[in-house]
Amino acid sequence: AQRVTQPEKLLSVFKGAPVELKCNYSYSGSPELFWYVQYSRQRLQLLLRHISRESIKGFTADLNKGETSFHLKKPFAQEEDSAMYYCALRALDSNYQLIWGAGTKLIIKP
């Protein structure tokens, strides 16, 4: 079955500390993986996608097919990074539907 797991509901780190939000997936084929972010009182927006292999707002995520993971990382957290983060998977035969993780609330303490 296709599934996205974000094991941490809440992650709290101090400003300047490294951040890693975990995401594991279950899918038999080659998925397309995304990280979406929802800042307080704002809409969901795409943060990054694995095929782009880019860094957005200092965040990076590498697809590890061996570990079926797509963890989101940032070396130095900033207060404005506080938000809900959702990992999502798109299966190739899915009519472009996304399978969502439960989300991780990231709190950056000053």
Residue 102, interface with another protein (CB under 8 A)?
yes
Amino acid at the residue 104: T
Q: 105 — phi, psi (to 5°)?
A: -90, 120
The piece of 15-23, 57-65, 72-80, 100-108 that touches another protein (CB under 8 A) is 100-108
Report the site for another protein in 38-57 (rule: CB under 8 A): 42-46, 49
Q: Which is nearer to another protein, 17 or 102 (CB)?
A: 102
Binder among 20, 32, 69, 73 for another protein (CB under 8 A): 32
79, with CB counted inside 10 A (0-12, 13-18, 19+), is exposed
- In DSSP notation, 42-106 reads S--EEEEETTT---BTTBEE--BTTTTB--EEESS--GGG-EEEEEEEE-TTSTT-EEE---EEE
Nearer to another protein, 77 or 87 (CB): 87
**Which positions from 68 to 97 touch another protein by CB under 8 A, shown as an x/- string?**
------------------x---x----xxx
Positions in the binding site for another protein (CB under 8 A): 32, 42-46, 49, 86, 90, 95-98, 100-103
